[in-house]
Amino acid sequence: MQTAVFFRSYISLLLSVIVATSCFNKNNKEKNLANQLPGGKLAEKYCGSCHLAPSPSLLDKETWHNRVLPAMAKQLGLEVWQNATYYQNEKSAISYSDWMQIVAYYDSLAPAHLTSLKPPVDLVNDWSIFSLLKPKVNNSNIATTTLVAIDSNSIYTSNSETGLLNRWGQNLILQSTVQLPSPAVQLTFEKNKNTIITCIGEMKALDVPSGNLLFFNGSNNQLTTIANNLFRPVQTVSADFNKDGLTDYIVCSFGHNKGGLYLMEQQAGKSFKTIPVREIPGVTQSITGDFNQDGWIDFMTLFAHGDEGIWLFTNDKKGGFQSKNILRFPPVYGSSSFQLADMNKDGKPDIVYTAGDNSDYSRILKPYHGIYIFTNTGNLQFKQTSFYPVNGCTKVMIADFDLDGDTDMTSIAFFADFKNNPAESFIYFEQNKEKSDFHFTPHAIPIHKEGRWICMDVKDFDGDGDQDVVLGNYSKGFLNEDHFELNWNVNLPFVVLINNTK
């Protein structure tokens, strides 16, 4: 399934970090009480064996009691009756008494309600440097856009209803369609004019091996299969990892209970050998680079859906990779995207990360959802230096949008607070580094009535030398807020934000 003032001054930045830290980490009182409750140590033992053991403060009592804990009990082999009564059997990995102490631990320490976090700087509701361009469509179909991608003055889209790959010209009139085996969620444009299409197979969280990886020749609309029977692949990146002159591919297969990170190593005759790198579900996104500067291509990968975090995979020069955890997050964060960019112009790549996937067991607004910047302190060590809360943040993309020499950001939020703050569904973060590092003005571009944005791409669409933005609208299902009626255009498949800097 890719920023402005965070802060008016350095003091504001410092305060926001302090507030975020106090909200999301166990305070001293909670730590002391956790040490007194046996359930805390048991949670660390059983929950922490698979992922970070989450603090009770991350969710409210009702969500822990009725949704998350029953789901986790099943993972440990317990039987659950009506999300309230637990039974141990011969397959259980934990005893009934130990599990009930874990339940008591979360019941005792979880808050009744989560407190929303006020942004350090309010959104500015204006168009900033952008103007709106809409495609010329006339249909009553509900938009289910799964892909938007810009290439050579064309925009490609796909949707979950038809599984078509659509190409739109610069006038945003539909020019061609190609039937795919399932909806496309990502395109990789290569120099040889081949395009790699990642088809997700199944949009719903089901372990159905129906995903595909395809070559697409745009000149004759020919499709060639690279791999099939994948569990919900969501992204593909390319590089010659083994230096044999042939392009290989890393595939992120999100799955549900199945999935993994795979290397598709190209063989002679354009055949491919599938090599598992890390077989766990929730693989979300990879970025390639020579991170240890040894002349061989490595990659970083974001994992969600359980053991959330960013791992570095360094090339062992023998056809495999060595892994190292870079950042790790609690399993309720909903890790959704990341970017590498030198945000403070010190010559080292920093990590910009978003948390906001909210379609699992804890479908509530979370104050720790939003955009984080982790500054590279050297030797691939990263320290959180800023946070801006955005409910349900889905993706962040990085570019110098206003061409002033510093790095800006754009974000979308598929699970925004549509009742109270729909403007946060798309934000342009304009950086002003002359004032201080990470000094952003957050512009809420007024397009929340045009759709619900699930995908985004950034490139120079109109060829004038600045970066434009295309957003895909998915308006069918996935609503978490009760008693809320859709109040945006549910038929428009996508919009383009034309950058008027030049």
The secondary structure of 205-263, three-state, reads CCCCCCEEEEEEECCCCEEEEEEEEECCEEEEEEECCCCCCCCEEEEEECCCCCCEEEE
Per-residue pLDDT band for 321 (boundaries 50, 70, 90) equals: very high
Beta strand ranges found along 279-361 (DSSP E): 283-289, 298-303, 308-315, 321-329, 335-341, 350-355
Worst-scoring range by mean pLDDT, 22-31, 94-103, 188-197, 262-271?
A: 22-31
Say whether pLDDT at 269 is over 80: yes
Say whether pLDDT at 62 is over 80: yes
SS3 (DSSP) at 104:
helix
Mean pLDDT of 54-79: 94
Q: Between 23 and 327, where is the model more confident?
A: 327
Give the chain's largest Cα–Cα span: 68
DSSP letter string, 415-440: T--TTT-GGGGEEEEEE-TTT-TT-E
Per-residue pLDDT band for 439 (boundaries 50, 70, 90) equals: confident
- In the chain the first and final C-alpha atoms are separated, in Å, by 30
SS3 (DSSP) at 323:
strand
* pLDDT at residue 103, rounded to an integer: 95
Tens of pLDDT, residues 224-251 = 999 999 999 999 999 999 999 999 999 9
* pLDDT at residue 436, rounded to an integer: 61
Alpha-carbon gap, residue 163 to 202, rounded angstroms: 11
* pLDDT at residue 435, rounded to an integer: 61
Q: How many CB atoms lie within 10 A of CB 250?
A: 24
Nearest of 491, 408, 501, 410 to residue 455 by alpha carbon: 410
Ordered alpha helix ranges (H), 3-56: 10-24, 28-36, 38-46
Tens of pLDDT, residues 3-21 = 333 323 322 333 333 334 4
Single-letter code of the amino acid located at 95: S
Alpha-carbon gap, residue 295 to 298, rounded angstroms: 9
Residue written as token pair 């970083």 = 300
The sign of the CA dihedral 471, 474, 479, 484 is: positive
Query: Is residue 53 within 8 Å of 124, Cβ to Cβ?
Result: no
Give phi and psi for 127, each to the nearest 5: -90, -15
Say whether pLDDT at 45 is over 50: yes
Query: What is the CATH topology of the domain spanning 124-499?
Result: Methylamine Dehydrogenase; Chain H (2.130.10)
* pLDDT at residue 2, rounded to an integer: 37
Alpha-carbon gap, residue 407 to 383, rounded angstroms: 19
Helices and strands (H, E) in the chain, number of each type: 6, 30
Say whether pLDDT at 291 is over 60: yes
Per-residue pLDDT band for 32 (boundaries 50, 70, 90) equals: low
Average pLDDT, the chain: 90
Alpha-carbon gap, residue 39 to 110, rounded angstroms: 13
Q: How many CB atoms lie within 10 A of CB 410?
A: 26
Structure tokens belonging to residue 108: 């005792």
Could you tell me the residue ranges of all domains in the chain? 19-109, 124-499
DSSP letter string, 119-158: -SSPPB-S-TTEEEE-------PPPBEEEEEEETTEEEEE
Say whether pLDDT at 31 is over 90: no
* pLDDT at residue 360, rounded to an integer: 85
Alpha-carbon gap, residue 263 to 325, rounded angstroms: 19
Alpha-carbon gap, residue 49 to 69, rounded angstroms: 16
* pLDDT at residue 220, rounded to an integer: 86
